[in-house]
Amino acid sequence: MMTAAALAACAHAGAAERVFEVVYQGFYAEHDAVFEADTTLEVLITVNDLDGDGSYSHEELVSLESGNINYYGFCGAITCVTAFGWDAGGEPRYFASYTNQNGLDYTSSTIYAGKSFTDFYQSSFGFRYDYEWTWTDATTTTITDVTPVPEPAQYGMLAAGLAGMLALGRRRRG
């Protein structure tokens, strides 16, 4: 009975975690002083609706990734999401930053959803770039739920495991 309760709790917890791909397109490039209609920013957001209200708070954020950077984690010298909120039916609001200095190079990146995103790089050899894009009224946002759906075989394995646990329990009692 305890095993069934634990499995039900795990199933409920796993079902609450959702993954969304958020694609922003069309930005004003501050560094070139031109609107770039084809420039996109893709962000993968994983959330877990702990209170079941359909909105997500900072405490319900599991991961926030863009490019090869996972911004969510320990708010230290490298990555940080200092603010996050997402109301049902709206767009996510967040500020995420990344900084890395390895002795030779300095890299930083920020995303302030709805405002701007930046990329900065400075090498110890003098090479440098500094880009900033800002949201405009023409910037579009597409949000797609890409939460993985369990395969039917996974449910079969769960059923086989439960049957095995029940058989083992009956054998011990009988």
Predicted confidence (pLDDT) per residue in 11-62, tens digit: 444 447 999 999 999 999 999 999 999 999 999 999 999 999 999 999 999 9
CB-facing half-sphere around the CA of 30: CA atoms within 13 A: 13
Distance CA 133, CA 129 (A): 13
Predicted confidence (pLDDT) per residue in 67-115, tens digit: 988 888 666 667 889 899 999 999 999 999 999 888 889 999 999 999 9
Interior/surface letters 153-165, b for 16+ CB within 10 angstroms, e for the rest: eeeeeeeeeeeee
Q: What is the pLDDT at residue 12?
A: 44
Q: What is the pLDDT at residue 74?
A: 62
- What tokens were used for 150? 């369990």
Q: How confident is the model at residue 8 (pLDDT cuts 50, 70, 90)?
A: very low
Distance CA 71, CA 98 (A): 6
Beta bridge partners of 44: 21, 65
Distance CA 114, CA 71 (A): 17
